[in-house]
Amino acid sequence: MIALSIFSALMALHAPAHHAALSLDIYKMSGGSRTLVKSGDAISGEIQFRAVVQTDHPIQAVEFYVGDDLRESDSSTPYEFKLDTLGEEDGTIKVRFKAFTSEGQNAEKVLNLTIDNGISKGADYHVNKGMEYFTNGKFDDAITEGRIAQKADKNSLGARLLLANANLRKGSYDKAQKFAEDALEVDKNNRQAKEIIISLKVVQAFNAVSRTNEDRRDVIDSIRKGLSEAIKFRTSLLEGEVERLSGNKLSNEYLDAAIRARRYSLVIDSVAPALKGSYKNNDFNNRLAYAYLMTNQVSKADELLRNVKKFGEYDGYTFALAAVVSVENGNDTMADDMIKEALLNAPDSLGLRTAQAYIALKRDKPRSLADAANSLVRDNDSRSEAYYFAAALSNRLKNVEVGRKYFEKAIRADAIDHDMYIEQGNEAIALGLTPGLNSKDKDYAFEYARALYDLALQCRPSSGQALAAVALVDIFQHKYKEAESYGEAATKAAPDYAAAWYLYAAALSVRQQDARAALAKASALDARNLQGRAMPDANLAFRYFNTTGRTPVLSPPSRG
């Protein structure tokens, strides 16, 4: 026994060193922190496991199994694995982790966990919970709840809308579009799903601007296509609202829906016959005067407001309208008086504040415009008209990039903002006329302007301003026959709009046609600025169109 003990001791002295121990712990990662995972733990949603290995030797790999199914292998630290529990059935699940070293050691950790996504609570429960996350900016958590809701009810409209919205806010545009389209399969007229698709089209269009490796004309085509699709969706959505409310064409709801859809003729056709000499209803008066202004019928707006003053009573919004009409008629003193009255009656009115901004823009008063525009953006950051004035100010101050950002914000707020497309088209023309610009850049600027003017025309096919804008850019692009055609169409669409006649005169002139009658008509409509003017060339026509030729931009009565 003694000899055997000595032999054993001698053998131990000459034996190789024993391998260091290999240990393996599993943690659940969340928000940068980690929690040790133990058998019996409940898990839900997407889980990120991290394997922490303790050993003195290099790790060759760590493997992750669900049951006996090898799901993933990782050979570099940190050793992390994802498990989407929504791809598994609720209940008990066995997960295994195996680590291997370069010395042939291995260790295994087996965990029996319970998947509990709360599917039995129903889709509505998880949609509501997801909306809470969404409201608080926790978009990943909102997506998890949406997926659980969809697993509880694969046809849940709420789940599809939640997933579309959350993915949109995360910037996962392909997924957002898929879920929005899925929502439309459940409800083909769903407004929220259509709004999401409109937002996606706008985002995709503007993303083209950042793709600097593309040909610039391809960029223009991408912008034109994306925004055109957004306009179609938005127009369809708004016209659907008009149709839905058409049972009572004298209700404020119907009239406001028509205004949002830029269907101003519907407002005029409904309200004008209903007045019957009575001007006591300012809901009617203001909406009709607004529709007249938006269709370049300043004289009719003026006549209506005179009758309201004589037989009815102005409110704050009516005073704002009267101020804009006065500016259009060249009566600055009256405009200032009307603004003072509006301030007394409704100092916080959005109608008043946009009237002030428009008057400052029309008079080319950048300081006053800056005060008004900055105030509008600060207090009304979801209104496209607020962004319009901010963009116009930036363009006036030659802050091109800032102006472009406000343009994008305006179109995201309202894809059919006709005035914003024209403003940005004018800015493109102005850039094209930069002294010393090479011919390639000039052609690009005019082509971009044409795309924007075409989009404005798509928003409002009967807009005299948009038709005149297309005629103008056609002159710059030497498409003289087309310019004459669009110029004539502009005068027919808006016979009281001086800029339409002035640009028509320019279009006739470049074709060596008799343009005297068109110039005389323009001079009669705006004697203050055009009386005695010579026949305009393209540059003079643009200068007038971009300043005096502006048409009113004003928050509608429902917002006034």
DSSP 358-396: HHHHHTT-HHHHHHHHHHHHHH-TT-HHHHHHHHHHHHH
Closest CA to 278 of 311, 314, 315, 318: 311
Pairwise CA distance, residues 449 & 443, whole Å: 10
Averaged pLDDT, 143-166: 96
Q: What does residue 60 show for φ and ψ, rounded to 5 degrees? A: -80, -40
pLDDT band at 30 (very low <50, low <70, confident <90, very high): confident
Coil, helix or strand at residue 549:
coil
pLDDT, position 207: 86
Q: Are 199 and 412 in contact (CB under 8 A)?
A: yes
- The alpha carbon torsion through 238, 241, 242, 248 (nearest 10 deg) reads -160
pLDDT, position 2: 40
Average pLDDT, the chain: 92
Pairwise CA distance, residues 400 & 62, whole Å: 54
Beta strand ranges found along 102-250 (DSSP E): 106-115
Q: Which residues contact 33 (CB under 8 A, 6 or more apart)?
A: none
The two tokens of residue 113 are: 């966990």
Q: Which residues contact 247 (CB under 8 A, 6 or more apart)?
A: none
DSSP string covering 113-139: EEE---GGG-HHHHHHHHHHHHHTT-H
- Mean pLDDT lowest among 110-119, 161-170, 226-235, 376-385: 376-385
- Side-chain-side CA neighbours of 463 within 13 Å: the count stands at 28
Report whether pLDDT(465) > 60: yes
pLDDT band at 521 (very low <50, low <70, confident <90, very high): very high
Domains identified in the chain and CATH numbers: 23-115 (2.60.40.10), 119-227 (1.25.40.10)
User: Within 10 Å of residue 215's Cβ, how many Cβ atoms?
Assistant: 9
pLDDT, position 208: 76
Report whether pLDDT(123) > 60: yes
pLDDT band at 297 (very low <50, low <70, confident <90, very high): very high
Averaged pLDDT, 526-554: 95
- The DSSP bridge partners found for residue 36 are 27
Pairwise CA distance, residues 315 & 469, whole Å: 35
Q: Are strands 106-115 and 69-74 parallel, antiparallel or unpaired?
A: unpaired
Report which of residues 104 and 228 the model is more confident about: 228
Coil, helix or strand at residue 81:
strand
Averaged pLDDT, 526-543: 94
Report whether pLDDT(369) > 60: yes
Averaged pLDDT, 80-92: 92
Q: Are 341 and 317 in contact (CB under 8 A)?
A: no
pLDDT, position 6: 39
Averaged pLDDT, 310-333: 96
The DSSP call for residue 420 is H
Pairwise CA distance, residues 48 & 68, whole Å: 19
Max CA separation in the chain (angstroms): 132
Coil, helix or strand at residue 75:
coil
pTM of the model: 0.83
Q: Which residues contact 434 (CB under 8 A, 6 or more apart)?
A: none
Report whether pLDDT(258) > 80: yes
Averaged pLDDT, 486-494: 98
Averaged pLDDT, 44-57: 92
